[in-house]
Amino acid sequence: MFYTNGVESEKYHFEDDSSLKVFDSSDFAERGFCSECGTILFWRQKGDQQASFNAELFPGIIKQAQFNLEIYTKDKPAYYSFANDAEKR
């Protein structure tokens, strides 16, 4: 899953949030998703004013994507890796 950089809460809104659901996915984060189709929309740290959106929602971003950062790499399965030299955190 590719995510955009964090977007401040005052810079986005949902025109219709009737299908928006938020799930506590861990002790520190929550994910927003569409309750009709299941698409992951965003994730954010609890209490944070920024959300990182699923980049696949924005086709223009995907076409220009530069994959340069892998996060939570210490928690990834051994068989999971990327073919580029992204920074790892």
pLDDT higher at 66 or 12:
12
Query: Is the overall model pTM greater than 0.85, yes or no?
Result: no
Can you tell me the distance from the alpha carbon of 81 to that of 46, in angstroms, rounded to the nearest whole number? 28
Three-class SS of residue 45? strand
Band the pLDDT of 85: cuts 50, 70, 90. confident
What proportion of the chain, given as a percentage, has pLDDT over 70?
A: 92
User: What values do phi and psi take at 54, rounded to 5?
Assistant: -60, 115
Element (H, E) at 20: strand 20-24
Sequence spans of domains, the chain: 7-88
Give residue-wise pLDDT tens across range 60-83: 877 777 777 777 777 878 887 766
Residue type, 40: I
- Enter the DSSP assignment of 73: G
CA angle centred on 26, ends 41 and 21, rounded to 5°: 35
